[in-house]
């Protein structure tokens, strides 16, 4: 795999995680309104994790929230824990609690990744293939790509302390995937061990990739990933959008960044 393609990261640093979540929620409202103005709809890929859920909670309470026509937003997930539907550890469950029920989404446009008690049972590979097919259908239907991978308008990612993004962990087979858009992940170092994840090619099809990291426990990962160029060892280094890549941090997560990185 050659070095990361796509737009180099642009850093945005907020004083603390609360203001980071509120500012990013406002940024997302604007991005979705712009996408709907330009293309009639918006495709947003959500992330699990504390920062992803904090953003969704801030979005639920954002003053400008209703500037978005939520009935024309397609929500996807960058990854999911492969657990039974409704399990409290599923990203979809946590997103529902934080946000999904707060706005008038079209249920047909909310695309959770399959659960382990769904039509594919515990076959995580079949579940991943089904999600890839759903993405491909959306891309063909109106994603504006002529059959390529779906170009999410915004793809959100959290940053793991080991520099993982979605469920793409350093040195894990899923990081090497350069053909399929969605894969099953087994023996993930972050519990639960079985997951479904977009691959780096699917991430890189996004127009914009926004990576969220708050807290001192992410400072080393943020500095390391921004300096790295080998996605196999540092998956976050490969998470770049075609048009823009934002690294949205709080001061604690940015603490080890060189001044040069802060523009
Ligand atoms: C997951 C997430 C994962 C998460 C990072 C950061 O399913 O666990 O998608 O990629 O975003 O591990 O998590 P925190 O924001 O909680 O540190």
CA distances (Å), 67 to each of 59, 75, 95, 108, in order? 12, 17, 20, 21
- pLDDT tens track for 129-186: 999 999 999 998 755 555 678 999 999 999 999 999 999 999 999 999 999 999 999 9
The DSSP call for residue 201 is H
Question: pTM value?
Answer: 0.96
Q: Is residue 1 part of a domain?
A: no
Enumerate residues 6+ apart whose C-beta is below 8 A from 61: none
Residue whose CA is at the smallest distance from ligand 1 atom 13: 49
- pLDDT tens track for 78-101: 999 999 999 999 999 999 999 999
Q: Is residue 171 part of a domain?
A: yes
DSSP string for residues in 118-129 = STTTT-HHHHHH
Residue whose CA is at the smallest distance from ligand 1 atom 12: 160
Give the domain extent around 57: 9-262
What CATH number did the domain enclosing 239 receive? Answer: 3.40.50.1360
Q: Which helix (H) or strand (E) holds 133?
A: helix 124-142
Q: Is residue 35 part of a domain?
A: yes
∠ CA 87-91-97, rounded to 5°: 75
* Token pair belonging to 39: 């293309």
Q: Is residue 30 part of a domain?
A: yes
Domain count, the chain: 1
pLDDT at position 261 is 83
Q: Is residue 59 part of a domain?
A: yes
Would you say the CB of residue 235 lies under 6 angstroms from ligand 1?
no
Phi, psi (deg, nearest 5) at residue 100: -55, -35
Q: Is residue 4 part of a domain?
A: no
Q: Cα(141) to centroid of ligand 1, in Å?
A: 30
13 within 8 A of 226, measured Cβ to Cβ: no
DSSP string for residues in 163-188 = S-BTTB-TT-HHHH--S-SEEEE-S-
Q: Is residue 2 part of a domain?
A: no
């Amino acid at each position: 795999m050659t070095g990361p393609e796509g737009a180099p990261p642009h850093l945005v640093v907020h004083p603390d995680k609360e203001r980071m979540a509120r500012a990013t929620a406002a940024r997302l409202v604007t991005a979705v309104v712009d996408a709907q103005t330009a293309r009639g709809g918006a495709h947003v890929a959500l992330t699990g994790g504390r920062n992803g859920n904090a953003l969704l909670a801030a979005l639920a309470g954002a003053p400008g929230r209703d500037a978005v026509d939520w009935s024309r937003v397609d929500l996807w997930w960058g990854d999911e824990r492969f657990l039974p539907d409704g399990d409290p550890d599923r990203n979809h469950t946590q997103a529902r609690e934080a946000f999904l029920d707060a706005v008038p989404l079209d249920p047909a446009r909310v695309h959770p990744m399959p659960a382990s008690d769904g039509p594919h049972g515990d076959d995580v590979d079949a579940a991943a293939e089904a999600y890839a097919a759903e993405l491909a259908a959306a891309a063909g239907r109106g994603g504006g790509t002529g059959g390529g991978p779906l170009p999410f308008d915004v793809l959100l990612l959290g940053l793991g302390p080991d520099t993982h993004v979605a469920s793409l962990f350093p040195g894990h087979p899923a990081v090497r995937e350069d053909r399929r858009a969605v894969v099953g992940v087994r023996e993930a170092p972050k519990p639960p061990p079985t997951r479904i994840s977009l691959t780096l090619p699917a991430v890189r099809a996004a127009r914009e990739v926004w990576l969220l990291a708050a807290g001192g426990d992410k400072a080393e990962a943020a500095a390391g990933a921004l300096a790295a160029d080998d996605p196999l060892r540092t998956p976050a280094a490969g998470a770049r959008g075609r048009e823009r890549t934002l690294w949205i941090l709080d001061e604690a997560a940015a603490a080890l960044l060189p001044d040069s990185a802060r523009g």
